Amino acid sequence: MALKRLDYEYKQYIKEPSQFYTINPESKNFYIWHILILPPSNTIFEGGIFKCIINFSKDYPNKAPEFKFITELPHPNIYQDGKVCISILHDGVDHYESEDISERWNPSHSVNSIIMSIISILIAPNLDSIANVDSYKLYRDNYNEYKKIIYRLIKNNQ
């Protein structure tokens, strides 16, 4: 089921590519997709190219994939290891009851909806769900310095 769904989603992407990301599945393992995120203009991430990887299990779409930034990115919702704190990638029961069930993973989500949700929190962080405390504090307390760090990162990665 997973390969059939992934094949369908990839064909949809080929038919209608996004201006905000590219997808490149591994040739030897279709469960691993390499993503380049190309954030919208008029944001502090404009001009950036952020490498990411999505790992799908054989249970996809019943189980959420794992999404990780390869490009180092200081951001309130991105852990130091590159994993993203976003509710739509959370499987199962919310033991802390901090997320509405409608916000969590369900099989109707697609690769497109995952990536677009991640781009959305990239631009407008969810400050109620912090993954990187240092980035959060800088973002909150000294946004101009945070922007400088992002601009420098983008310049160095080009």
Catalytic site positions:
85
Given a contact cutoff of 8 angstroms between Cβ atoms, the answer to whether 22 and 112 are in contact is no
How long, in residues, is the chain? 158
| Bridge partner list, 78 | 84
Q: Which stretches of the chain are DSSP H helices?
A: 2-15, 111-123, 133-141, 143-156
Q: What is the C-alpha to C-alpha distance for residues 158 and 51, in angstroms, rounded to an integer? A: 12
Q: What is the C-alpha to C-alpha distance for residues 31 and 94, in angstroms, rounded to an integer? A: 26
Distances (CA, A) of 24 to 40, 66, 93, 134: 20, 16, 32, 32
